[in-house]
Amino acid sequence: MNNASVPIYQTPSLNGLRVLIVDNNPDCVELIRVILQEFSILVKVATSAREALEVFATCQVDVLISEIAMPSEDGYSLIRQIRILEQRQNLKLLPAIALTASITEKVCDEALSSGFQVYAEKPIEPDELVANVTYLARTIEEMALAS
Protein backbone atom coordinates (compact mmCIF):
# COMPACT_ATOMS: atom_id res chain seq x y z
CA MET A 1 0.00 0.00 0.00
CA ASN A 2 1.30 3.43 -0.91
CA ASN A 3 1.04 5.65 2.18
CA ALA A 4 1.32 8.79 0.03
CA SER A 5 -2.21 8.19 -1.30
CA VAL A 6 -3.79 7.92 2.16
CA PRO A 7 -5.18 11.30 3.26
CA ILE A 8 -4.19 12.50 6.70
CA TYR A 9 -6.93 14.29 8.60
CA GLN A 10 -6.14 16.76 11.32
CA THR A 11 -8.23 16.05 14.37
CA PRO A 12 -8.03 18.10 17.52
CA SER A 13 -6.56 16.50 20.59
CA LEU A 14 -9.24 15.66 23.11
CA ASN A 15 -6.63 15.25 25.85
CA GLY A 16 -7.45 17.70 28.65
CA LEU A 17 -10.70 18.90 27.09
CA ARG A 18 -13.13 19.84 29.88
CA VAL A 19 -16.66 18.49 29.43
CA LEU A 20 -19.65 19.10 31.68
CA ILE A 21 -22.27 16.34 31.59
CA VAL A 22 -25.73 17.33 32.86
CA ASP A 23 -28.15 14.46 33.39
CA ASN A 24 -30.19 13.13 36.30
CA ASN A 25 -29.76 9.52 35.08
CA PRO A 26 -26.67 8.06 36.82
CA ASP A 27 -26.31 5.20 34.32
CA CYS A 28 -26.24 7.59 31.37
CA VAL A 29 -23.74 9.85 33.14
CA GLU A 30 -21.47 6.92 33.94
CA LEU A 31 -21.54 5.61 30.36
CA ILE A 32 -20.65 9.03 28.92
CA ARG A 33 -17.98 9.59 31.57
CA VAL A 34 -16.27 6.25 30.83
CA ILE A 35 -16.30 6.87 27.07
CA LEU A 36 -14.88 10.39 27.39
CA GLN A 37 -12.24 9.49 29.95
CA GLU A 38 -10.83 6.92 27.51
CA PHE A 39 -9.81 9.96 25.41
CA SER A 40 -8.25 11.74 28.42
CA ILE A 41 -11.16 14.17 28.59
CA LEU A 42 -11.72 15.79 31.97
CA VAL A 43 -15.32 15.27 33.05
CA LYS A 44 -17.47 17.28 35.46
CA VAL A 45 -20.99 16.09 36.30
CA ALA A 46 -24.14 17.94 37.33
CA THR A 47 -27.47 16.24 38.01
CA SER A 48 -29.65 19.33 37.48
CA ALA A 49 -29.68 22.61 35.58
CA ARG A 50 -29.14 24.52 38.84
CA GLU A 51 -26.07 22.42 39.69
CA ALA A 52 -24.77 22.84 36.13
CA LEU A 53 -24.98 26.63 36.42
CA GLU A 54 -22.94 26.45 39.64
CA VAL A 55 -20.27 24.36 37.88
CA PHE A 56 -20.33 26.73 34.89
CA ALA A 57 -19.78 29.71 37.23
CA THR A 58 -16.88 28.14 39.12
CA CYS A 59 -15.07 25.89 36.62
CA GLN A 60 -13.76 26.30 33.12
CA VAL A 61 -15.76 24.15 30.71
CA ASP A 62 -15.03 23.55 27.01
CA VAL A 63 -18.10 21.49 25.98
CA LEU A 64 -21.53 20.96 27.54
CA ILE A 65 -23.49 17.72 27.12
CA SER A 66 -26.98 18.10 28.55
CA GLU A 67 -30.10 15.98 28.76
CA ILE A 68 -33.16 17.89 27.57
CA ALA A 69 -35.82 16.27 29.79
CA MET A 70 -34.84 16.83 33.41
CA PRO A 71 -37.16 17.41 36.35
CA SER A 72 -37.67 20.98 37.62
CA GLU A 73 -35.67 22.72 34.89
CA ASP A 74 -35.00 21.26 31.46
CA GLY A 75 -31.95 21.44 29.19
CA TYR A 76 -33.53 24.15 27.03
CA SER A 77 -33.76 26.44 30.06
CA LEU A 78 -30.18 25.60 31.04
CA ILE A 79 -28.68 26.48 27.66
CA ARG A 80 -30.72 29.69 27.44
CA GLN A 81 -29.40 30.76 30.85
CA ILE A 82 -25.83 29.93 29.83
CA ARG A 83 -26.21 31.97 26.63
CA ILE A 84 -27.49 34.95 28.68
CA LEU A 85 -24.52 34.66 31.07
CA GLU A 86 -22.11 34.49 28.12
CA GLN A 87 -23.53 37.73 26.70
CA ARG A 88 -23.60 39.57 30.03
CA GLN A 89 -20.07 38.54 30.98
CA ASN A 90 -18.64 38.73 27.45
CA LEU A 91 -17.66 35.03 27.53
CA LYS A 92 -16.89 32.84 24.54
CA LEU A 93 -19.64 30.55 23.28
CA LEU A 94 -19.78 27.20 25.07
CA PRO A 95 -20.31 24.47 22.44
CA ALA A 96 -23.18 22.23 23.53
CA ILE A 97 -24.77 18.86 22.75
CA ALA A 98 -28.43 18.22 23.57
CA LEU A 99 -29.32 14.66 24.55
CA THR A 100 -32.86 13.39 24.18
CA ALA A 101 -34.60 10.04 24.34
CA SER A 102 -36.80 10.96 21.38
CA ILE A 103 -35.56 12.89 18.39
CA THR A 104 -38.42 14.59 16.60
CA GLU A 105 -38.32 17.58 14.29
CA LYS A 106 -39.80 19.74 17.05
CA VAL A 107 -37.18 18.64 19.60
CA CYS A 108 -34.35 19.20 17.13
CA ASP A 109 -35.62 22.65 16.14
CA GLU A 110 -36.07 23.68 19.78
CA ALA A 111 -32.61 22.37 20.73
CA LEU A 112 -30.92 24.38 18.01
CA SER A 113 -32.98 27.53 18.57
CA SER A 114 -32.29 27.33 22.32
CA GLY A 115 -28.55 27.43 21.75
CA PHE A 116 -27.29 23.87 21.29
CA GLN A 117 -25.07 23.17 18.27
CA VAL A 118 -25.66 19.41 18.15
CA TYR A 119 -28.39 17.03 19.28
CA ALA A 120 -28.14 13.28 19.81
CA GLU A 121 -30.51 10.50 20.72
CA LYS A 122 -30.12 8.48 23.91
CA PRO A 123 -28.70 6.02 24.38
CA ILE A 124 -25.85 7.65 22.48
CA GLU A 125 -23.45 5.39 20.65
CA PRO A 126 -19.82 5.79 21.75
CA ASP A 127 -18.61 6.58 18.21
CA GLU A 128 -21.32 9.22 17.78
CA LEU A 129 -20.47 10.79 21.15
CA VAL A 130 -16.76 11.01 20.35
CA ALA A 131 -17.48 12.33 16.84
CA ASN A 132 -19.74 15.06 18.26
CA VAL A 133 -17.23 16.08 20.93
CA THR A 134 -14.43 16.07 18.32
CA TYR A 135 -16.55 18.26 16.03
CA LEU A 136 -17.16 20.73 18.86
CA ALA A 137 -13.47 20.65 19.88
CA ARG A 138 -12.59 21.55 16.29
CA THR A 139 -15.06 24.42 16.53
CA ILE A 140 -13.28 25.62 19.68
CA GLU A 141 -9.92 25.52 17.87
CA GLU A 142 -11.32 27.43 14.89
CA MET A 143 -12.81 30.12 17.15
CA ALA A 144 -9.46 30.49 18.94
CA LEU A 145 -7.61 30.87 15.65
CA ALA A 146 -10.13 33.47 14.42
CA SER A 147 -9.72 35.70 17.47
Rounded Cα gap, residues 67 and 29, in angstroms = 10
Q: Which residue has the higher pLDDT, 65 or 123?
A: 65
- Residue 23: CB partners within 8 Å, gap ≥ 6? 29, 32, 47, 65, 66, 67, 70, 99
pLDDT band, residue 140 (cuts 50/70/90)? confident
Could you tell me the residue ranges of all domains in the chain?
14-146
Q: Average pLDDT for residues 70-96, to the nearest whole number?
A: 94
Contact of 76 with 69, CB cutoff 8 Å: no
Give φ, ψ of 117 to 5 degrees: -95, -25
Q: Write down the CATH superfamily of domain 14-146.
A: Response regulator (3.40.50.2300)
Contact of 58 with 15, CB cutoff 8 Å: no
Rounded Cα gap, residues 31 and 84, in angstroms = 30
Contact of 46 with 20, CB cutoff 8 Å: yes
Contact of 50 with 77, CB cutoff 8 Å: no
pLDDT at 143 over 80: no
Q: Average pLDDT for residues 101-129, to the nearest whole number?
A: 92
pLDDT band, residue 79 (cuts 50/70/90)? very high
CA torsion sign, 82 to 84 to 89 to 92? positive
Q: Average pLDDT for residues 113-135, to the nearest whole number?
A: 94
